[in-house]
Structure 1
Amino acid sequence: MSSLIASRRYAWALLSAAEEGQFLDQATDALNSIKETLANSRDLVHVLRSPLINGDKKTHILEEVFKEIAGEKVMIFLRLLAHKKRAGQLPEIIGEYQKLLDEKNGVINVSINSAVMLSDEQAKDLVNKLANYTGKKVRAKMKLEEALLGGVTVKIEDTIIDGSVRHQLQMMKKFLLAGKL
């Protein structure tokens, strides 16, 4: 089974169990804390992914590191991952869990790059327009990208909306070189 498919299945199993067991908020908070810990500790991720360290040792490591933040039900899940030799996929499983949770809640992640920093009002207006366009709640990640020269680019999943001056200049150049203008 591919790593992505397995990660999605484990994430879905945890999400389903958390919904049915009514501990969704606790599981989500715990996974966010675990994700942050893993992001700040390459060594821990390396240990979890190492084939040289057996499942019992990984279980012990997971318990020592996460017992305070995970809660009993998430710890059961972490033990299962170690037992099934999937502890090394924990970062990917958490990522898939977040995607599934966002999908369930109708949230879409959007990247917005702008040539200049947008004012709060402009950013809010753009997010509202994107919410109307997608029909979902928008979680926007704003980034300053001066190379755009002006305007914005918006990435919604696999779709890029390029309203930058740089793009318009490139298109104009293409038309001029092709003799179509």
Structure 2
Amino acid sequence: MQEISHPVARRYARALFEEARARGQAEAIDADVAALHEAFAASRELARVFESPVIPREKKKKIIETLFAGRLQPLTIRFLELLVEKERENLLPAIVAAYRALQDEAQGIVEAHVRTAFPLDEAGARPLVEKLERLTGKKIRLQLKQDPSLIGGVVVRVGDTVYDGSVRQQLTALRERLRRRATFVNGSNESR
């Protein structure tokens, strides 16, 4: 899968995003992009077809027609065909990711990547979401991942900001304070 930061993918995503809004089809195209995301997540083979430079363009267009005609809006179908014509179809997963990022930005949503030592259910996550929403002033979408190496606590990344409340981090900080104190005490004793 291409990285979301790919500049060409972002340009194509923005073009589709702005065209959908200009035509008053934002909700329908947003739903199409969600359907494309699900299709790529469900089928690695579909992603391989679009990534392959060996499969002819006409065959890829036929696959688009077979899989998506009647399911996606005509604007989305034309967009997919344009990607194939411009030989940019390999960027489709990155374009979908960039489009979804534009949606989130427009709706004031940020994604918070949360690592916990133990599984966190919806009830346990709710206070964390509320606190993060107060901190960021935005709606939060959690991406949870269990990481037993944390020992306990939680590590949250929102954009470039990391909140580390893990036991491992607290132990590291404590060890550093003790090391500094020992250095200070030993240094004070040597000067006498």
User: What TM-score do you get using the length of structure 1 for normalisation?
Assistant: 0.89
Per-residue CA deviations over 1:108-149 (Å, capped at 9, x if unaligned) read 000122233446454222211111111111111233333222
Report if aligned partners of 1:56, 1:83 keep a CA contact under 8 Å in 2.
no
The range that moved more, 171-180 or 126-135, is: 171-180
Q: Is 1:131 matched up with 2:142?
A: no
Instruction: Indicate the percent of aligned positions where both proteins have the same amino acid.
Output: 36
Q: Is 1:19 matched up with 2:41?
A: no
Specify the structure having the higher radius of gyration (Cα): 2
CA separation in 2, counterparts of 1:165 and 1:180? 24
Letter in 2 for 1:128: E
Counterpart in 2 of 1:48?
50
Superposition pairs of residues 135-174 of structure 1, within 5 angstroms = 135-174=137-176
Superposition pairs of residues 47-126 of structure 1, within 5 angstroms = 47-118=49-120, 120-126=122-128
Letter in 1 for 2:174: M
Letter in 1 for 2:127: D
CA RMSD, aligned part only? 2.1
CA separation in 2, counterparts of 1:121 and 1:94? 30
Q: Is 1:36 matched up with 2:8?
A: no
Q: Please list every run of 5 or more consecutive structure 2 residues that lacks an aligned counterpart in the other structure.
A: 185-192
CA separation in 2, counterparts of 1:180 and 1:161? 29
CA separation in 2, counterparts of 1:81 and 1:180? 62
Report if aligned partners of 1:34, 1:70 keep a CA contact under 8 Å in 2.
no
Deviation at 1:93, TM superposition (A): 0.2
Q: Secondary structure at the match of 1:68?
A: coil
CA separation in 2, counterparts of 1:139 and 1:148? 22
User: What TM-score do you get using the length of structure 2 for normalisation?
Assistant: 0.84
Q: Please list every run of 5 or more consecutive structure 1 residues that lacks an aligned counterpart in the other structure.
A: none
Deviation at 1:69, TM superposition (A): 2.2
Per-residue CA deviations over 1:50-79 (Å, capped at 9, x if unaligned) read 222232222111111222321212101111
Deviation at 1:169, TM superposition (A): 0.6
Report if aligned partners of 1:111, 1:154 keep a CA contact under 8 Å in 2.
yes
The range that moved more, 168-177 or 157-166, is: 168-177
